[in-house]
Amino acid sequence: MGYKVVVAGATGNVGREMLSILAERQFPADEVVALASRRSLGTEVSFGDKTLKTKDIDGFDFTGYDMALFAIGSDATKKYAPIAASQGCVVIDNSSLYRYDPQIPLIVPEVNADAIEGYRNKMIIANPNCSTAQMVVALKPLHDRARIRRVVVSTYQSVSGAGKEGMDELWSQTKGMYVPGQEVEPKKFQRQIAFNVIPQIDVFMEDGQTKEEWKMVAETKKILDPSVKVTATCVRVPVFVGHSESINIEFEDFLDEDEARDILREAPGVLVIDKREPGGYVTPIESAGEDATYVSRIRQDQTVENGLNLWCVSDNLRKGAALNAVQIAELLGNRILKKA
């Protein structure tokens, strides 16, 4: 017997990707239901070679469903996740609503799979922010070997991280540059995104960090290790899919760049592409549609005692959201529910 699965937000960037990954990985599902808002009632979405008609989440009865993968934003999650959980359906949520609740596990399966047991507290499991997910996959094996003290990360985040409206805005602004009279007014983003970069993702906090930067700090501590210090600068760039990160790491013990490269080559979820020649690294375009967290440009930082620099790229809609959520669903199935 397989699982009965709900995908909420099935018409969105992450929801569509979750459906395609469930099909690709042949998730053992007897039934998959696609939900979104009333606006999308009847909209057809693909699930492998099948087509599903989207239902309205409002009033949906989750009873009898094993798990619900949510990608509907924090406001709608606040309303519907407790309903699903109270009806006995485990929620795997992509929004930031529950990530910092100590009662709710925040999981990247390659890093802290054992935390899954905590799902029992509230029947909810949180999926991390896209930029955190790929970073901790790359940091974990290095931390196990040489203990990370401090991380300085700068991100180059694609517009799909801001949902379908973000992708539409980059597309329409780019076209607008070539069509005289067409508007290039920012709507979703704070400034023009076409042919530009914007050093703000999410709102500003009192101390001058943005919320996205704060999330990378708080989530890395929760998933990897509370003792690791992180400081981040998060930047939106005119790329459709794929987040990139420049990561500087200080360790307690010395870690040679060749050993780091060997460790990362063996690490789950990581693919090292690191040739010291023109083009011998990964850019976001190559990461789109792929599952791996790519690591390139691994090199010693000579300015500190035990330092390394690296470049990390991943498809934000996959490892940064949908793939990680499906991996959590697989973990929940294999370790806990054990139906299929």
Least separation, in Å, of the C-beta of 252 and ligand NAP?
A: 31
For ligand NAP, the closer CB: 9 or 284: 9
Classify the phi-psi angles of 211: left when phi > 0, otherwise alpha if psi is within -120 to 50, otherwise beta: alpha
Q: What is the 3-state secondary structure (H, E, C) of 143-175?
A: HHHHCEEEEEEEEEECHHHHHHHHHHHHHHHHH
The separation between CA 149 and the C-alpha centre of its own chain, rounded to angstroms, equals 24
How far is CA 263 from each of CA 50, 94, 141, rounded to the nearest angstrom? 40, 29, 7
Least separation, in Å, of the C-beta of 210 and ligand NAP?
A: 14
For ligand NAP, the closer CB: 4 or 16: 16
How far is CA 321 from each of CA 44, 163, 247, 324, rounded to the nearest angstrom? 22, 12, 20, 6
Q: Which residues carry a binding-site annotation? A: 11-14, 39-40, 99, 157, 160-161, 236, 316
> Which residues form the catalytic set?
130, 243
Least separation, in Å, of the C-beta of 77 and ligand NAP?
A: 7
317: closest CA among 158, 185, 210? 158
Q: Which residues carry a binding-site annotation for substrate? A: 157, 236
For ligand NAP, the closer CB: 122 or 319: 319
Residue 118, judged by CB atoms within 10 A of its CB (0-12, 13-18, 19+), counts as middle
Tokens representing residue 89 in the block: 């359906």
For ligand NAP, the closer CB: 210 or 316: 316
Least separation, in Å, of the C-beta of 73 and ligand NAP?
A: 4
Least separation, in Å, of the C-beta of 284 and ligand NAP?
A: 12
Tokens representing residue 272 in the block: 């090292």
For ligand NAP, the closer CB: 112 or 300: 112
Q: Which residues bind ligand NAP (CB under 6 A)?
A: 9-15, 36-37, 39-40, 57, 71-73, 76, 94-95, 129-130, 160-161, 163-164, 316-317, 320-321
Longest dimension (CA), the chain: 59
Give the CB-nearest residue to ligand NAP: 12
How far is CA 38 from each of CA 9, 53, 58, 106, rounded to the nearest angstrom? 11, 12, 7, 29
Q: What are phi and psi of 45, to 5 degrees?
A: -130, 150
